[in-house]
Amino acid sequence: MTLTQLAQVKCWLRLHGRQHPVELYAWDLVLMSWVLGWIGVPALLLLHAFMLLPLCLASFLLPSAYAAWRSRLHRRGRLRCDWLTAL
């Protein structure tokens, strides 16, 4: 996902947060993990903790994976995802 797409989803959730509070908190956790992944790389390199770098890579990919997972569930009719229109 691009930064523009991340911002569009966040903006949509900010506008509709009262109707979707759990989704708002879930997206905040996804974004927090993404930011921690970016912050974690320099720290892990300074500490020579190279074993944990794959964890940072996973957190980089988390927003895209989360959006793809939600989109797949929405297409199957298992979960309604209104913020997909923001992408």
The count of structural domains within the chain is: 1
pLDDT level of residue 36 (50, 70, 90 thresholds): very high
Q: Quick one: average pLDDT of 38-43?
A: 94
Smallest Cα–Cα separation from 83: which of 4, 40, 27, 31? Answer: 27
Evaluate if residue 17 carries a pLDDT over 90.
no
What pLDDT, on a 0 to 100 scale, did the predictor assign at position 52? 93
pLDDT 10s digits, 60-78: 999 999 999 999 999 999 9
What pLDDT, on a 0 to 100 scale, did the predictor assign at position 35? 95
Measured distance CA(70)–CA(4) in Å, rounded: 18
DSSP 71-84: HHHHHHTSS--GGG
pLDDT level of residue 86 (50, 70, 90 thresholds): confident
Smallest Cα–Cα separation from 85: which of 15, 28, 34, 37? Answer: 15
Do 70 and 38 meet the contact criterion of CB atoms below 8 Å apart? no
Q: Residue 42's domain spans which residues?
A: 3-86
